[in-house]
Structure 1
């Protein structure tokens, strides 16, 4: 029986730990090589386990990838879900930019995993993109449009605003090597994320404040 299909409560502590070791190793392999360029053998080697042992917990490479993508999307969408209609629009958008940059800093491998999947045409997550992600974005776009109607922020396209925040914040994960190389040793340390946050806040929020 595929261990992935068993209820978590039925797994022993050791089984749960083994699965986490495999998933951690797979994240490293997939984020570096993409789905097509990764193999069970590579994942087993990274996990320090035999291939049959890996296949005991996950029947196929696809099962490992699917588990990682489900976790990733849950984490990735959390900041957008917290967009609060009753909150101050400028504060809500500032918080969203900050949280997305924190994720770029803390989850660079997950970001590259997602980018690799998208670049391949999203064959394994298209239903999630067209379903859960689209529904969430449409819902938050309506909130943004409501703020515009109330004169709380300047009028713009809410979907492209969301896309722009994704693009600028995730750049610091997906192109981190380039960012650090261009900034150099003096500016390419951990402080680059705070510098990026201040810049992006000015870029987005100054443009969104109502014109008086």
Structure 2
């Protein structure tokens, strides 16, 4: 599922037509056709809360420079999830990419032995099940897999990073809330995506000093701190 949302980020970073965010999210409530939106400025973005059917979450910390030096923050609401991102203006004309992206989605499913280990904070289980490795295409996955407490109710989250050969780094927070009977699970998956293409034109390379993977993660902490997973475990 997370790769679907990576595609979503790519779609709106390529410059889809956009609507105002409040109008679009109201129009797209539920699993309806994809809608795209934009934030007009940093103030609006920094004071916005996404109110999803399964969770509430704040927008990533933005800066005015994101609208002056980059293309401003845009987003997509599709398949019941949300994606937001910022990229270089007119980047597709040059064949290079420098971008931040965040994908947010949720699911509900039955409680299993896996969730028992996650709820108990069994790091040994995590290290054994999610071992770092490489696929044939060179993509590294489950880097530094571990558990962290995040969100307004200290949700247990499975955390890991991934690298791809094309300059994409991702950090995933897979956070869980269990019903009182421990029969159902609601999880919210947050994926922070950083892309720095090896084909980035020389005229934009100075931006890589400020727009870094570490900066993305620092700005994203307010997203993690604000996460509230709602009650209700109906599929």
Same fold (TM over 0.5): no
Structure with the larger helix share: 1
Structure with the larger strand share: 2
TM-score, normalised via structure 1 length = 0.27
